[in-house]
Structure 1
Amino acid sequence: MLSSKLGHRLDKPLAPVARWLAGLGVSPNMLTVAGAIPNVVAAVVLAYGHYRVGGVIVLMGGAFDLLDGAVARVVGKQTRFGSILDSTLDRYSDALPIFGLMLYYSGWNPPEGRMRFGDMILCAAVVLGSLLVPYVRARAESLLQRCDIGLAERAERVIIFAVGLIINADVAALWILAVLTHLTVLQRLLYVRAHLHEAPEELEHAGSKGKKLKPSNAKSNL
């Protein structure tokens, strides 16, 4: 929702930083890879139960996610490979910090750790929802021009998770994410069903000709 509403409106405020990074020879793909590193660190930090520090680190990773697209647009290097790389590493970034929490909930680090089986199941539900949200969009956009609707695109997920950690409300954040991600999957399925129902012949005709519909964004905001 945030990604769809904002679109490229952040390009202007980010442009000076993007130009500075481009001037240093920093490529969009370098920023994409660098953006995954904070989430690896966050996973380790969260595995030891340090919620607030982990939340701040997750937000840092989200900042890199904004910059790689901005640099790509400044230098005019929006590539299909860059889009795939960004989307793939976003999935790792979605899952790794939550896996860190799962490890902490498993009670592996006594005496701070404690077995919290229900919360581990909750983490698994969030990971599953976070992976299905972009999957459904990718499948939908092989049939439709756009399917960027939904309550929990990646920007919302990062903010909810990070803020929940920082204010020591990790379980509440996980419940919100579990509900919103699966609602987003349902929203997108219903959206596709409605639009396919409206123009089935046109879509079938496009598919029979092997027509490839243009994706809505070079930068992934899944």
Structure 2
Amino acid sequence: MITRLLRETIQPGITEHFARHPRVYRISPNVVTFVALLLAVPAAWAIAQQHYGWAILWIGLSGTIDLIDGCLARAQQRTSRFGSYWDAMVDRYVDCVLYTGFLFDGFVLEAFLATVGTVLTSYAKPRTAMTVEIYRQDWPTIGERTERFVLLLAGLALASVEPTIGGISTIGLMLWLTVVMTHVGAIQRILYTRRRVQEEDAVDDGT
């Protein structure tokens, strides 16, 4: 839902801006994508050092870069299948780097489970595409990357002013919510894929 909102309301304006100034924005979209990964490194360091305000800044910059690289590619008419693949791979690296910061902050189990859930949720859709035909649409599931980012930023912001809630670590609570959201999302994707496979099998049996 949040992803669709960004795609439909914000990205078209950014793309149009880039298209109006082609001489200013000549940088390769793939290079811009890589910058998002570079920005995740100081974000993870800030998390590990419990400098959550700085972490929010670096994560916000990384997320902004991730938002605009596709817009730049469309404005330059340089969209490609490799560009889409590269963007997805860098996104996974960014996710893993960020949660590594929590690992060094002492949240070993939570960070591990959140990373596993994030990777599985992200892997489910492309793996489904290898099994059945799917379309570029929002799935009826939770745990999209934008949702995870919103939860991450909200947790860091709250932790910077309220380290504990009812005696429970705010960061730990945020990570456990991420664990639940991503693993539930992964299960939802499995069930959705199962239904799609059954639908295609039923069509094949009827022909």
2:10 is aligned to 10
TM normalised by structure 2 equals: 0.84
1:156 maps to amino acid: E
Q: Whose helix fraction is larger, Structure 1's or Structure 2's?
A: 2
Q: Matched residues in 2 for 1:80 and 1:135: separation?
A: 17
TM normalised by structure 1 equals: 0.79
1:23 is paired with a residue whose SS is coil
Q: Matched residues in 1 for 2:91 and 2:204: separation?
A: 30
1:135 is aligned to 123
Shift of 1:20: 6.5
Calculate percent identity across the aligned residue pairs. 27
2:96 is aligned to 95
1:113 is aligned to none
- Does residue 163 of the first structure (1) align with residue 164 of the second (2)? no
Q: Matched residues in 2 for 1:125 and 1:95: separation?
A: 11
Q: Matched residues in 2 for 1:14 and 1:203: separation?
A: 43
CA contact (8 A) 1:43 1:96 kept: yes
Q: Matched residues in 2 for 1:43 and 1:20: separation?
A: 35
Q: 1:197 to 1:37 in 2, by over 3 A?
A: same
What is the number of equivalent residue pairs in this alignment? 191
Q: Matched residues in 2 for 1:184 and 1:18: separation?
A: 34
Shift of 1:183: 0.9
1:42 is aligned to 43
CA contact (8 A) 1:51 1:170 kept: no
Shift of 1:16: 4.9
2:133 maps to amino acid: L
Q: Matched residues in 2 for 1:91 and 1:158: separation?
A: 13
Q: 1:195 to 1:17 in 2, by over 3 A?
A: same
Q: Which runs of 5+ in 1 are unaligned?
A: 106-118, 205-222
Q: 1:40 to 1:202 in 2, by over 3 A?
A: farther
1:197 is aligned to 198
Shift of 1:57: 1.3
